[in-house]
């Protein structure tokens, strides 16, 4: 039951000028595709082959003998989640249930933005910044490399990829500029609201 590389939920030029066609082509067609292919090869013919990818991630997290499988599984899943966290004409202040929940749990949208920016900027090396639901409360967290909140029993609502390949063609070494643009221009708050509703 091979995990398939999902088609991007928008055209390759849809996020310009904030994320370029070149970045999406490299990031989706090369990086994401490689994780998917490597994961499928690694689990082919094993007991993991029939499980949903989320179950594989949770089942093998922390098993040093399966680090390679975990890294490719989690990166395949993380990237799919990331594409859906973005949308053309996105970003800015959310509305709906997530807006109320952010105000309740962080005190204000500005406080959430401050914590989310900090998580993305202080993740040393490669990794991810997340908005998660943890025992009913919203939290900002960050994970290194391929790790994700599923392994900690948290519900991911939003992610920002801070691996260099996510932004380097467009922002070079200016990760804070990418983070600012992600929040103000790219977040798909409808996706976040859907994840909150299903949590």
The annotation places the binding site for Mn(2+) at 27, 79, 161, 165
Binding site, annotated residues: 27, 79, 161, 165
As a whole number of angstroms, the distance between CA 136 and CA 155 comes to 9
Burial (Cβ within 10 Å: 0-12, 13-18, ≥19) of residue 194: middle
- Tell me how far CA of residue 103 lies from CA of 39, 64, 111, 187, in angstroms: 39, 40, 9, 17
Q: Report the DSSP beta bridge partners of residue 86.
A: 187
As a whole number of angstroms, the distance between CA 43 and CA 33 comes to 16
Reported as type and span, the H/E element at residue 144 is strand 137-144
- Other C-beta atoms closer than 10 Å to the C-beta of 121 total 15
């Amino acid at each position: 039951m091979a995990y398939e590389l999902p088609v991007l939920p928008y055209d390759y030029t849809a996020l310009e000028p904030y994320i370029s066609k070149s970045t999406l082509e490299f990031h989706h067609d090369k990086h994401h595709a490689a994780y998917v292919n490597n994961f499928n090869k690694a689990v082919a013919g094993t007991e993991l082959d029939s499980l949903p990818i989320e179950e594989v991630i949770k089942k093998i997290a922390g098993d040093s003998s399966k680090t390679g499988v975990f890294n490719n599984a989690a990166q395949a899943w993380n990237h799919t989640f990331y594409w859906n966290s973005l949308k053309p004409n996105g970003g800015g202040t959310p509305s709906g249930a997530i807006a109320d929940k952010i105000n309740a749990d962080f005190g204000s949208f500005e406080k959430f933005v401050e914590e989310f920016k900090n998580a993305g900027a202080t993740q040393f090396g490669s990794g991810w910044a997340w908005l998660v639901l943890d025992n009913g409360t919203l939290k900002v967290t960050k994970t290194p490399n391929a790790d994700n909140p599923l392994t900690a029993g948290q519900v991911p609502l939003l992610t920002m990829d801070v691996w260099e390949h996510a932004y380097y063609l467009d922002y070079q070494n200016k990760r804070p500029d990418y983070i600012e643009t992600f929040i103000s221009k790219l977040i798909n708050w409808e996706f976040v609201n859907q994840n909150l509703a299903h949590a």
